Amino acid sequence: MVHVIRDSDGVTTDLVGFMFDISERKAMEQELLALQKELETLSFEDGLTGISNRRMFDTYLASEWRNARRAAKPLSLIMIDLDYFKQFNDAYGHVAGDNCLKQVAGALRRVGTRPRDVVARFGGEEFALLLPETSAEAALALAEECRKAIADLAIFHANGGPKGHLTASIGVGSVVPAGATGAIGFVESVDRLLYAAKQNGRDQIAALQG
């Protein structure tokens, strides 16, 4: 800031400058912006596994459902539930259970790799992959990749069935949104397939085409 000093005739005689050090304020503003960005990221991230949380999944589901309806393109969903996970926690403890969930999340992240794919922890030991512009055939192939990726982790589970390691049951569905079809109903239909896979013996995939 510069202050002008004039004499009685209005002639400028001096210029007095004032300097303010705003570096500290700027640094604080940057720190607050970084903190806000971090908090926004954390609000959409599962704290244990580092993948998307249910809030992020719901947000993207609504958006991709609108996109698929507008473009008349398929939207696919894979839902995964770890078999006998309660027994795993009971046998090996919650620390081992948490580590198991982290490994599974990492394996699923290596399957859903496209920019718009969403890999999320849906709740508890249940995971979901939201796959825009993915056909029923492609989604089924990716579901098999998920099943195999979890099996290939070879996480020992004495109470996990005849194979002796952690397995997963999977429901998969694809739909081109139209008419009165709703996103929530679609998720519920795939979730029912997931539990049908469990009832039919676990470590398998049940598929829906729409």
Q: Which residues are catalytic?
A: 125
Smallest CA-to-CA distance from 77 within 43, 122, 47 is with 122
The CA dihedral of 195, 198, 203, 204, to the nearest 10 degrees, is: -60
DSSP label of 176: -
What is the rounded radius of gyration, in angstroms, for the C-alpha atoms of the chain?
A: 27
d(CA 183, CA 104): 26
